[in-house]
Chains A and B, each alone.
Chain A
Amino acid sequence: MTTTTNTATNTAPVPTTVAQPPPRTGARHGPSTLRHGATLAWRGLVKTVHSPEALIDVTLQPVIFLLLFVYVFGGAIAGDTSAYLQFALPGVLVQTVIFASAGTGTGLADDLHTGIFDRFRSLPISRAAPLLGAIGADLARYATSGVIMLVFGTILGFRTSAGPLAIVAALLLVMAFAFALCWVFTALAMLVKDPRSVQGLGALISLPLTFGSNVFVPASTMPGWLQGWVDVNPVSKTADAVRGLLLGGPVAGPAGTALLWAAGITLVFAPIAVTLYRRRT
């Protein structure tokens, strides 16, 4: 009996205001996932713009990397900093974006940690949307870092023989590789829950990957066993392809290998990351 009175008081004052969300039926799939992913990518970018640390990561880090490597090591390695700038910039571009992709893992681990994912998961949005959002925002960050690096490199004296199309292709190639790696870091973030550990372990992956390559030094000066690794390291291949695109030289070979690597890494790690993500969320 009491229930009747209760429902009566329940239905009466429900405010019928404009902002009532429309009833959604097939909202689980397709366009809505992309739309929600884009909204969450917007969140990721606003976050970056708002937080000085993140903004510095994207803008200042490439500048600092370039200055350090060129002016600290350049003279010793190439005998001349401007010659070294030509050699190193394409590789430092790759390195910067790899470091940025490690940030994807930290960001996701952070979100899981603070409970904001609980909020997202209690909303009628696809479970893939937060992941898409994180990756979408990161792609935008990679592109920003890459452009800043190229602009700053040009100010320092880097000269490219490439036209606009080749430059865009170089950036896209680097982003493709970073996209592949961000699945590795996402999987890591789902396994290791603590954001700080994710950051530490991420460095453990990204450091050998970038320094154990021909990004900073030609492989010919290294011991044989290391050359073996440097030769297969996808970072070397990506750097080679970027050099080819920006400075002239073979492109198709290294670019093909780099893209195969990117596809391979994505094929292995994306399903792992998504499975772990589904389990965690």
Chain B
Amino acid sequence: MAAPPPTVVAMNEPAIRVEGLVKTFGATTALAGVDLEVRRGSVLGLLGPNGSGKTTTVRVLSTLLRPDGGRATVLGHDVVADAPAVRLRIGLTGQYAAVDDALSGVENLRLIGRLLDLSRRDARRRTDELIERFGLAEAAGRRVKTYSGGMRRRLDLAASLVGRPDVLFLDEPTTGLDPRHRNEVWEHVRALAAEGTTVLLTTQYLEEADQLAEDLVVLDHGEVIASGTPASLKADVGGQLLHVRPLHRADVGAVATLLGELTAETPAIDPTGELTLSGTPALLHRLGVRLEEDGVPVAELGLRLPSLDDVFLTLTGRPAEAGPATEEAA
């Protein structure tokens, strides 16, 4: 019963291979030579702040944009020279839910099915499956205009799955969703991955990447600044982290100086005034004593394992989510 794959690609060939990808828009360099690989059947998280080149990467890989340099293949097919073959095998869920507002959920999915050359009957059957799977039965006949944000996103995801893609691109699939709907989308992505779909997911949320992705690539200003598993990236930052947040903003400088004295290291400082650096229980103790002596009131003080936020902060010197640092990038 196991049919051979329609295209002959060496099984150890990665699902997605990107080499030296360059894309410029006028004077702006969106991608400055990106290299990455996505293993077959794995979930890769492409992580980075706004404007780091995540969406451009996805648009090149899904054949929507031509790169200016480098090359990229999806399942062995070049995204420029062999774009039609790529389109047969991929699904794309964009940042802005690309479904038709004026059509119902069912009509949207059937439309995609028909465009994929399914017969009327198969398009209907596939639509019913997806409506069921994504819990849209109740709203299936309603115009998408009336859908909530979470329903739209689910329909969008369903639309990208009509053709049973081998590779799925999810460009910020949960941006703007509340936590409950975010969890729903995550469950669907996990299920797809479990079925063997290769997923490339972009996100600004480190938690999302941590939850879903087996491998991470961190982009900044169109360049890959780090890659590896979430665990290895966290390990790069070091073991435990000491974090301290003075009660008064005015004390941040004094605490930084104090930490410098105790460890000869410079702590990272985030916009909330939290200072972080690698630490041990002994350091925690000494810092506590000194803060007590100096009479510096503290809101938070403790040790923790690094999060991906810490990874990003350590790699770029600024926090992952749009903070004051985005202005200097502009």
Residues of A within 8 A of B (CB): 2-4, 6-7, 9-24, 27-28, 32, 35-36, 39-40, 42-43, 46-47, 50-51, 54, 114-116, 118-125, 129
CB-CB under 8 A from B102, the residues of chain A are: 46-47, 50-51, 54
A119 and B98 in contact (CB under 8 A), knowing A12-B196, A14-B196, A23-B6?
Answer: yes
Can you offer 11 A-B residue contacts whose CB atoms are under 8 A? A3-B14, A11-B196, A18-B125, A19-B129, A20-B164, A21-B117, A35-B117, A39-B115, A118-B98, A122-B91, A123-B115
Q: Is B62 a contact of A122 with CB atoms below 8 Å?
A: yes
Bound together, the chains give a CA A124 to CA B101 distance in angstroms of: 22
Q: Is A15 a contact of B92 with CB atoms below 8 Å?
A: no
CB-CB under 8 A from B62, the residues of chain A are: 122
Chain B, Cβ-Cβ closest to A32: B117
Bound together, the chains give a CA A46 to CA B63 distance in angstroms of: 28
Asked if B100 is at the interface of the complex by the 8 Å CB criterion, the answer is yes
CB-CB under 8 A from A51, the residues of chain B are: 102
Asked if B42 is at the interface of the complex by the 8 Å CB criterion, the answer is yes
Min distance, Cβ B131 to any Cβ of chain A, angstroms = 13
Bound together, the chains give a CA A149 to CA B95 distance in angstroms of: 43
Asked if B182 is at the interface of the complex by the 8 Å CB criterion, the answer is no
Q: Is B39 a contact of A6 with CB atoms below 8 Å?
A: yes
Chain B, Cβ-Cβ closest to A123: B115
Interface centre among A36, A114, A124 (most CB of B within 10 A): A124
A19 and B11 in contact (CB under 8 A), knowing A3-B40, A10-B196, A116-B99?
Answer: no
Interface hits, B1-54 → A, CB 8 Å: 1-3, 5-6, 11-12, 14, 39-42
CB-CB under 8 A from A54, the residues of chain B are: 102
Q: Is B99 a contact of A7 with CB atoms below 8 Å?
A: no
CB-CB under 8 A from B100, the residues of chain A are: 43, 47, 116
Interface hits, B291-330 → A, CB 8 Å: none
Q: Is A50 a contact of B63 with CB atoms below 8 Å?
A: no
Bound together, the chains give a CA A24 to CA B7 distance in angstroms of: 12
Bound together, the chains give a CA A24 to CA B97 distance in angstroms of: 27
In the complex, the 5 A-B pairs of residues with the closest C-beta atoms, listed nearest first:
A10-B41, A19-B126, A119-B98, A124-B87, A115-B98
Min distance, Cβ B161 to any Cβ of chain A, angstroms = 11
Bound together, the chains give a CA A35 to CA B119 distance in angstroms of: 12
Asked if B139 is at the interface of the complex by the 8 Å CB criterion, the answer is no
Bound together, the chains give a CA A20 to CA B125 distance in angstroms of: 11
CB-CB under 8 A from B63, the residues of chain A are: 121-122
A19 and B87 in contact (CB under 8 A), knowing A12-B196, A125-B115?
Answer: no
Residues of B within 8 A of A (CB): 1-3, 5-6, 11-12, 14, 39-42, 62-64, 84, 87-88, 90-92, 94-104, 107, 111-118, 122-123, 125-126, 129, 143, 159-160, 163-164, 194-196, 198
Bound together, the chains give a CA A54 to CA B115 distance in angstroms of: 24
Bound together, the chains give a CA A20 to CA B6 distance in angstroms of: 12
Q: Is A27 a contact of B117 with CB atoms below 8 Å?
A: yes
Q: Is A21 a contact of B2 with CB atoms below 8 Å?
A: no
Bound together, the chains give a CA A121 to CA B60 distance in angstroms of: 12
Min distance, Cβ B120 to any Cβ of chain A, angstroms = 11
CB-CB under 8 A from B84, the residues of chain A are: 27-28, 124
Q: Is A6 a contact of B94 with CB atoms below 8 Å?
A: no
Bound together, the chains give a CA A229 to CA B194 distance in angstroms of: 69
CB-CB under 8 A from A123, the residues of chain B are: 87, 112, 115-116, 163
Partner of B12, one of A4, A27, A124: A4
CB-CB under 8 A from A119, the residues of chain B are: 92, 94, 98-99, 112, 159-160
CB-CB under 8 A from A21, the residues of chain B are: 88, 116-118, 163-164
Partner of A15, one of B12, B123, B195: B195
Interface centre among B2, B111, B129, B198 (most CB of A within 10 A): B111
Interface centre among A11, A32, A36, A120 (most CB of B within 10 A): A11
Chain B, Cβ-Cβ closest to A1: B12
Interface centre among B5, B97, B115 (most CB of A within 10 A): B115
Q: Is B64 a contact of A11 with CB atoms below 8 Å?
A: no
CB-CB under 8 A from B98, the residues of chain A are: 114-116, 118-119
Q: Is B196 a contact of A39 with CB atoms below 8 Å?
A: no
Interface centre among B91, B94, B194, B196 (most CB of A within 10 A): B196
CB-CB under 8 A from B14, the residues of chain A are: 3
Bound together, the chains give a CA A12 to CA B196 distance in angstroms of: 8
A22 and B40 in contact (CB under 8 A), knowing A46-B107, A118-B92?
Answer: no
Task: Known A-B contacts: A39-B114, A122-B90, A123-B87. Give 16 more (CB < 8 A).
Answer: A6-B42, A7-B12, A10-B196, A11-B2, A13-B194, A22-B117, A23-B6, A24-B117, A43-B103, A115-B95, A115-B97, A116-B100, A118-B64, A118-B94, A124-B87, A125-B115
Bound together, the chains give a CA A112 to CA B143 distance in angstroms of: 20
CB-CB under 8 A from B39, the residues of chain A are: 2-3, 6
A24 and B88 in contact (CB under 8 A), knowing A11-B2, A15-B164?
Answer: yes
Partner of A115, one of B88, B91, B94: B94
Chain A, Cβ-Cβ closest to B171: A118
A115 and B164 in contact (CB under 8 A), knowing A13-B195, A47-B102?
Answer: no
Interface centre among B40, B41, B113 (most CB of A within 10 A): B41
Min distance, Cβ B79 to any Cβ of chain A, angstroms = 11
Interface centre among A9, A16, A120 (most CB of B within 10 A): A9
Bound together, the chains give a CA A10 to CA B192 distance in angstroms of: 11
